[in-house]
Amino acid sequence: MKNIFAIILVIAILPLSLVSKPDKQLSDLNHQKKPQTPPTSFILKDYPPVSTGKIADLPQKVNYKIIDFVDDANFSFNYGVTPFVYDPISNSMIIVLSHRYVPENAERFSDSLYLLYSNNDGGSWNKKLLQLSTGVLYMNSSLATVNPGNESYNFNDLDHFVVARYLPYNPLDNNYSADGSYYLYKIGDDIQSWNSDKLPTSTQQWGFSKLASFSSPNSQMAYRYGVLTPNEGYQYGHYGFGSFDFLTESDNNMIPTAWDITKYRPSTALNLSYNNKMYLDTDEDGVIYAAVSNMFANDPDNRTVGISRSADNGNTWLEFEKMPISLLDNYCVSETESGAYGDLIAFEEDGFVVTGEDEFSYVCKLRILNSARNAIIGQHLIEMYKQNETWGIRKVADYGWFSEQGFSYSPLVVFDHNPDRNSNTFMDSLDENSRGMEIQLSKTADGQYIIAKWLDWNVDRPIDVNYKLLNGENIGSLYATDIYMAYRRVDEDQWSAVRNVTDDDFYNKLTFIPSVVPSINNIPLLSLHTVEITNTQYPRYGYPPILNQMLVDQNVPQYIAYSNVTNLLGVENESPVKNFALNDVYPNPVTSNAEISFTLDKPAISKLELYNSLGERVLLLQEGFLSSGTHAVNVNTSNLTSGVYYYTLTVEGKTATKILCLTK
């Protein structure tokens, strides 16, 4: 059971000391989770609005661009949503957003639900309005996008499925209260919507919704999944699955038999559960894989990863295949000491990707205790995977820090914790980020790499704060937080060295990358930056920048900051050729002949190849020794069929890959 801790940070003791209530345990093994309780209603507090006209300095290493803003973090990106997707065929990056406002001479909010999209690697962004309503708010939106027939090269031809929380205005208490889900789908120019919940059962409802999708010439599906919200008097912890078929415009919502609550360790109370979050992905054939890190009924004392599969768009599911717990035991001993014990940390965000038929990777936090289980001796991000019909574990990185007293914390946020939601009094609370370390796994569009992204303390950057929150808690100092990434090739067994992609004094929070990214050196990255507080009447005016950036309240506008991570390939992978560039194919889409050019900084052996969407090489375009400079190859596509292809340049062990779209 997660607790809310009163936390005081003291700068005098380094590494940073956190003093908490004594019930903070070394091991989360026996903890149960209450349902997430984000705001279920919205009231505009009685104070002048915070200015959104000035962009604060963004002292980050990455080159961020402000592309939009949201009215708060709690109602947008702070809980279990999938708001950011990338479609490699049309080269479209897409974000689903809502924006509330009060029209002139109006008494109630209007709200717009829209897509923000870019087709040029974030160079420019456009908006696509989906819905505009009066007296209704749309919150915690998720997006799934499909490409019809995998043949559309234009964003306007893509189809979308959106799920959002639905908050209509209640005149009885002058409030906006959560009332189920809002659904919307776009097929071509036709936009349809409804606001009645498609219930998995009569006693279990959808709460937060993550979405995934699958596109092929014969199938266009959106999938909804996650832990459900029970009616009063029923057990929390059930998993639900939903599907939407764009071809038939039909939907299905259920609790699969293979996921029944009896499959997992029983809870001790109706409002508690040992069950973790669920993650979902598909392989190239459309087989769906659902992943959980749970304590199962046949081994209730151990948490392990389980995978359930469906080959018929989610109509039927196989029982969970579980990773042998002995793997985790052996890993902990081999990495630390005899008798060491490992505890998979639950209830935060983990990462999951499918890399092939019956092959996948799951990344999460592992806390390693000594044989007496009274001291932490290691904290690892680990990859639990299945490959060639065999389970395994790899270390991705060390994470976080832990004090001599045995306490360790995920990054923190500040939010309004006033028990009286109708009061205008602010009562700040400092607590762990509900998304934990914001772990995500993504794969590159060419299928060659998987990428792990996470948020962590930067223990080399203590920031002197010396400031009291509104509730009187004194903050002595904080470590900055940074965004970290690592990668590995799908056909290799080692993760790269960890790269701190921000590495500065800024406090990062609420970060996202899409589940598919353009390439290993083109990773779209979103984060939220609190709007600079310039209103002297605002209760938090004067907060130091680091505390201001930690705010995730409603009524606190947040800039959406976008960047491309272009330098993930590390020094350890650099070859004697320090720089080479693979250029975009011309023209693209290709209708007949095309030209591919690239540049070498020094003479080298190079190879240029063209692959189809199945990863099969269809053309060897160039191979051999070339001088330094720019080179070009003509590509004859007369013997190729329409579709998506990938061209890869290899120079002394380094590779670069881009997309070629062929249409005839």
The model's pLDDT over 568-625, given as tens digits with 9 standing for 90+, comes to 875 344 334 557 888 888 888 898 888 888 888 877 888 999 988 777 889 999 988 7
Domain C-terminal end among 513, 540, 571: 571
Q: Are residues 59 and 161 in the same domain?
A: yes
Q: Are strands 440-444 and 516-517 parallel, antiparallel or unpaired?
A: parallel
Whether 31 and 120 map to the same domain: the answer is yes
Cα 495 to Cα 640: distance, rounded to the nearest angstrom: 35
Report the pLDDT averaged over residues 362-389: 93
Mean of all residue pLDDT scores within the chain:
86
CA–CA gap between residue 319 and residue 315 (Å, rounded): 13
pLDDT 10s digits, 548-580: 999 988 778 899 999 999 878 753 443 345 578
User: Is the residue at 105 inside a domain?
Assistant: yes
The pLDDT value recorded for residue 598 is 83
pLDDT digits (tens, 9 = 90+) for 62-102: 678 899 988 888 888 888 899 999 999 999 999 999 988 77
Torsion 463-466-470-473 (CA) sign: positive
The answer to the question of residue 618 being in a domain is yes
pLDDT of amino acid 109: 78
Of the listed ranges 254-268, 452-466, 545-559, the one predicted with least confidence: 545-559
The H or E element that residue 547 is part of is: helix 545-549
Give the range of the structural domain holding residue 616, as residue numbers without chain letter: 575-662
Asked if 447 and 580 sit in the same domain, the reply is: no
Count of beta carbons in the 10 Å neighbourhood of residue 106: 11
Across 194-204, b (16+ Cβ under 10 Å) vs e yields: ebebbbbeeeb
Q: Please report, for residues 182, 340, 482, 658, the alpha-carbon distance to residue 448 in angstroms, rounded to integers and kept in the order given.
A: 37, 35, 26, 12
Q: Is the peptide bond before 589 cis (omega within 30 degrees of 0)?
A: yes
Q: Which of 522, 552, 571 is the last residue of a domain?
A: 571
Whether 522 and 641 map to the same domain: the answer is no
Q: Are residues 412 and 397 in the same domain?
A: yes
Q: Report the side by side order of strands in the sheet with 511-512.
A: 65-70, 558-565, 523-530, 511-512
Position 2 in a domain: no
CA angle 552, 558, 561 (to 5 degrees): 120
The span from the CA of 552 to the CA of 342, in Å, is 32
550 shares its domain with 642: no
> Is residue 511 in a domain?
yes
pLDDT computed for residue 517 by the predictor:
97
Domain boundary among 571, 586, 604: 571
- Do 548 and 605 fall within a single domain? no
**pLDDT band for position 27 (50/70/90)?**
low
- Percent of the chain whose pLDDT exceeds 70: 89
1 found inside a domain: no
Q: Is the pLDDT confidence value at 646 over 80?
A: yes
404 with 490, same domain: the answer is yes
Q: Which tokens is 259 given?
A: 């996921």
Nearest one of 417, 414, 401, 441 to 509, comparing CA atoms: 414
25 and 129 inside one domain:
yes
Residue 316 lies in a domain: yes
Same domain flag for 504 and 590: no
Residue 612 belongs to domain with CATH number:
2.60.40.2550
User: Could you read off the pLDDT of 136-152 as tens digits, one per residue?
Assistant: 889 899 999 999 988 88
Q: Quote the pLDDT of residue 426.
A: 75
Q: Per the structure block, which two tokens stand in for 16? A: 């940073």
Beta bridge partners of 606: 624, 651
Clarify whether residues 496 and 520 are in a common domain. yes
Please tell me whether residues 177 and 278 are part of one structural domain.
Answer: yes
> Is residue 439 a contact partner of residue 513, using CB atoms and an 8 Å limit?
no
Number of domains in the chain: 2
